[in-house]
């Protein structure tokens, strides 16, 4: 079978199964500034391109190898196939000119930040995860994400269960490296010692996520940056006065962003981190 060439379109069925071909090109670049989209991603998994669904990447030894679908086909992150547009779920797109964000496939620590309708891939500092409830990097106990658990155990023989961090009666099972959300039968809670639903009296479950109230960027009006932004490009710049905030400048327009309370901005990694 041939992949990545438009010429043989007529021979393709509705779905093109992506095969792992020998590596001809090893290019470690990713779609965002300084972010390796394959870091922490299992071998032989495909991840989407942030702004072009005709393209995608093969992750191999944490290196992103660029690929493209045959002409007229688009990458589907869920099924890991090139398919016709109507059937695909590639990656969310930025909506509107304000600030918003969404998680990037296959890991819990990468996300896409949208401003002025432009996506940029971001990676949380070590030990932090992206929280889609607050639009920013956060302590893992507050983030209900299981994608990182599934990718490390990309073995169909071993069923992996993961407790939800948002609800005691919710858990995930990993299928083909992707977490599938499950609910316990009414009245039961997930017991992480036995990997099964159990009576609440047998289960130690604490939901940390509900204990804070942080307004997501997308639900607050953007605050202009109080500095002069560089006229071109995307830049993450330390705040003039605060350690726990920073500016995001995009082609001359700038906004002020806050870290999760307790974190500080680190200009070297352009992200918030543990102090």
Give the residues lining the site for ligand NAG (CB under 6 A). 52, 54-55, 68, 181-183, 192-193, 204, 206
Separation CA 86–CA 230 (nearest Å): 40
Closest approach, Cβ 167 to ligand NAG, in A, equals 8
Other Cβ atoms closer than 10 A to 260: 18
- Beta strands across the sheet bearing 118-123: 100-103, 110-115, 118-123
Closest approach, Cβ 4 to ligand NAG, in A, equals 9
Nearest to ligand NAG of 122, 165 (CB atom): 165
Nearest to ligand NAG of 155, 183 (CB atom): 183
Closest approach, Cβ 78 to ligand NAG, in A, equals 15
Which contacts of 94-99 are long-range, i.e. CB under 8 A and separated by 24 or more positions?
A: 94/118, 94/119, 98/218, 98/221, 98/222, 99/135, 99/217, 99/218, 99/222, 99/255, 99/257
Nearest to ligand NAG of 170, 223 (CB atom): 170
Closest approach, Cβ 245 to ligand NAG, in A, equals 31
Other Cβ atoms closer than 10 A to 244: 15
Exposure string for 54-72, b = 16+ CB within 10 A, e = fewer: bbbbbbbeebbbebbbbee
Closest approach, Cβ 209 to ligand NAG, in A, equals 12
Tokens of 96: 């509107």
Q: What angle do CA 251, 263, 118 make, to 5 degrees?
A: 25
Nearest to ligand NAG of 207, 264 (CB atom): 207
Nearest to ligand NAG of 206, 240 (CB atom): 206
Nearest to ligand NAG of 48, 103 (CB atom): 48
Residues contacting 155, CB < 8 A, separation 6+? none
Closest approach, Cβ 161 to ligand NAG, in A, equals 9
């Amino acid at each position: 079978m041939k992949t990545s060439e438009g010429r043989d379109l007529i021979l393709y069925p509705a779905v093109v199964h992506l095969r792992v071909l020998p590596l001809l090109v090893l290019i470690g670049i990713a779609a965002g500034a300084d972010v390796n989209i394959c870091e922490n991603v299992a071998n032989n998994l495909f991840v989407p391109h942030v702004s072009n669904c005709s393209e995608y990447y093969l992750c191999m030894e944490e290196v992103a190898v660029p690929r493209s679908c045959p002409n007229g086909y688009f990458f589907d992150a869920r099924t890991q196939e090139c398919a016709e547009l109507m059937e695909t779920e590639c990656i969310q797109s930025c909506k509107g000119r304000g600030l918003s964000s969404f998680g990037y496939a296959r890991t819990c620590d990468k996300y896409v930040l949208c401003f002025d309708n432009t996506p940029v891939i971001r990676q949380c500092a070590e030990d932090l995860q992206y929280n889609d409830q607050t639009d920013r990097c956060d302590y893992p106990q507050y983030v209900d994400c299981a994608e990182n658990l599934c990718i490390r155990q990309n073995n169909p023989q071993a069923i992996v269960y993961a407790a939800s961090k948002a609800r005691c009666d919710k858990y995930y099972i990993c299928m083909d490296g992707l977490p599938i959300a499950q609910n316990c039968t009414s009245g039961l809670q997930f017991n992480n010692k036995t990997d099964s639903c159990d009576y609440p009296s047998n289960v130690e479950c604490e939901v940390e996520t509900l204990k804070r109230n942080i307004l997501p960027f997308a639900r607050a009006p953007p605050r202009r940056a109080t500095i002069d932004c560089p006229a071109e490009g995307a830049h993450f710049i330390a705040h003039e006065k605060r350690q726990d905030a920073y500016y995001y400048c995009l082609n001359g327009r700038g906004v002020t962003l806050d870290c999760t309370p307790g974190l500080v901005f680190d200009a070297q990694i352009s992200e918030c981190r543990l102090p």
